[in-house]
Amino acid sequence: MKRYAFLSALILVCACKTQNTVDSSKEIAVVSEPQNNEGYCPEGGNCTVKLHKNSSLVLKKDTADSYYPVIEKGDGIVVEFKFLIKGPEGTADGDYSETIHFEINKATEILNIKGEALEQVQLLFGKHCFCRGEAGYYRVKDGNLTLQKLKDNINVDISFNIPDVSHKIFNIKEKIKL
């Protein structure tokens, strides 16, 4: 009986396909090197931020009618924050991560939006884990985004809450090198 349970679990793990958030068939002009930003990073995890210059954030729906982001070539700047806690060694799906994606117009100098207006930048929160009923992407509708673009960097201050799901990141306040 134990063999059948192990074999069933192995088949289930192998059959699961992860969703890649960057469409590799489309060329993205410039992706900055990931920057480690520990200022907003919850304890026990690793946080990075990437700027996808000359890009566009496209929200697509999968067969379960759930959103997922695809970064394509475009005229904007896509900002991608990632928080990751590595799972125990030897586990197939023990990692836990949260992502934040949004897109700004490359000409934007100052931005201060909140609530439903966050849809202007397509602010999207992703929770990635083996946590049924909570994993997936969520549009952020309850929060604030303040952004100021300077000569060599972008100052970002985001606070948000996703009432439908538990999460570890609630605030991000960072200076991102352009």
Q: What is the pLDDT of residues 89-145, one digit of tens each?
A: 888 888 999 999 999 999 999 999 999 999 999 999 999 999 888 999 999 999 999
* H or E, element range at 4: helix 2-15
3-class state of residue 166 by DSSP: coil
Which DSSP category does 119 fall into?
G
**Structural domains of the chain, count:** 1
Domain that holds residue 74: 27-177
Classify residue 8: in a domain, yes or no. no
Classify residue 77: in a domain, yes or no. yes
Q: How confident is the model at residue 4 (pLDDT cuts 50, 70, 90)?
A: very low
Q: Tell me phi and psi for residue 4, to 5 degrees.
A: -65, -40
Which DSSP category does 133 fall into?
T
Classify residue 16: in a domain, yes or no. no
Classify residue 31: in a domain, yes or no. yes
In this predicted structure, the answer to whether residue 10 has a pLDDT above a threshold of 70 is no
Q: Which residue has the tokens 């469409």?
A: 23
Classify residue 112: in a domain, yes or no. yes
Classify residue 17: in a domain, yes or no. no
Task: Supply the pLDDT for residue 132.
Answer: 87
3-class state of residue 116 by DSSP: helix
Q: What's the gap between Cα 6 and its chain centre?
A: 33
40: tokens are 């907003």
Classify residue 48: in a domain, yes or no. yes
Which DSSP category does 19 fall into?
P
pTM: 0.77
